[in-house]
C-alpha cells in the first residue's frame, strides 16, 4: 500500500498504523521477528507461502518505515540479518493483540470449518 497523506479526519491514527502493518505479509514478518533476529532464509522457511520477491519487497518496505533493521555481512555465501528496530519493538503489543484476537476467533477465520456459520439474510431492500 502506498504512502498516504493523513492530513484529514479522525481515525487517522488507526489508518496510519494499519498502513504500516497491512498487506498480506508485513504483520506476520513482524511477528516472526519478535522472537529475535532472523536471516532472510529463515524468514522464508517460517512463511512457506511467500515468494522470495515478496519477502524482499515487504522487508524493504518495513525497513523504509524504520520498523526493522537490515544488517549485511560481507561473506560468501551472503548473510543478511533482520531484526526489529526500537519502533518495531514498540509494535509488539499491537501484534500480540492481533494474534490473541485471531486465536480467540479462530473458528470464524476459516482456520477450520465453522458449523455455526449461517447464511446471510438476503441483502435486498
Partner DNA sequence: CCCAATAGTATCCAAACAGGGACTAATTCC
Partner DNA sequence: GGAATTAGTCCCTGTTTGGATACTATTGGG
Q: Shortest distance, CB of residue 28 to its own copies, whole angstroms?
A: 4
Site string for its own copies, 11-40 (x = CB under 8 A): xxxxxxxxxxxxxx--xx--xx--------
Site string for DNA, 27-56 (x = CB under 7 A): ------------xxxx------xxxxxx-x
CB count in 10 Å sphere of residue 20? 20
Within 69-108, the residues that bind its own copies by CB under 8 A are 70, 72, 74, 78, 87, 90-91, 93-95, 97-106, 108
Residues 53/54/60/66 CA torsion (nearest 10 deg): -160
Does position 52 interact with its own copies (CB under 8 A)? The reply is: no
Which C-beta is closer to DNA: that of 10 or that of 93?
Answer: 10
Spatial separation of the C-alpha atoms in residues 43 and 64, rounded to whole Å: 18
- For the four alpha carbons of 100, 101, 102 and 107, in that order, the dihedral sign comes to positive
Spatial separation of the C-alpha atoms in residues 44 and 119, rounded to whole Å: 37
Overall residue count recorded for the chain in this entry: 125
Which C-beta is closer to its own copies: that of 8 or that of 53?
Answer: 8
Amino acid at each position: 500500500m502506498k504512502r498516504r497523506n493523513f492530513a484529514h479526519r479522525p481515525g487517522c491514527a488507526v489508518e496510519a498504523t494499519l498502513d504500516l502493518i497491512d498487506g498480506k505479509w508485513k504483520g506476520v514478518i513482524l511477528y516472526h521477528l519478535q522472537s529475535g533476529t532472523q536471516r532472510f532464509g529463515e524468514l522464508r522457511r517460517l512463511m512457506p507461502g511467500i515468494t522470495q520477491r515478496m519477502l524482499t519487497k515487504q522487508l524493504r518496505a518495513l525497513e523504509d518505515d524504520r520498523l526493522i533493521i537490515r544488517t549485511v555481512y560481507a561473506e560468501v555465501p551472503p548473510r543478511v540479518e533482520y531484526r526489529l528496530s526500537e519502533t518495531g519493538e514498540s509494535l509488539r503489543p499491537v501484534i500480540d493483540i492481533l494474534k490473541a484476537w485471531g486465536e480467540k476467533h479462530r473458528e470464524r477465520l476459516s482456520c477450520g470449518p465453522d458449523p455455526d456459520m449461517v447464511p446471510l439474510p438476503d441483502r435486498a431492500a
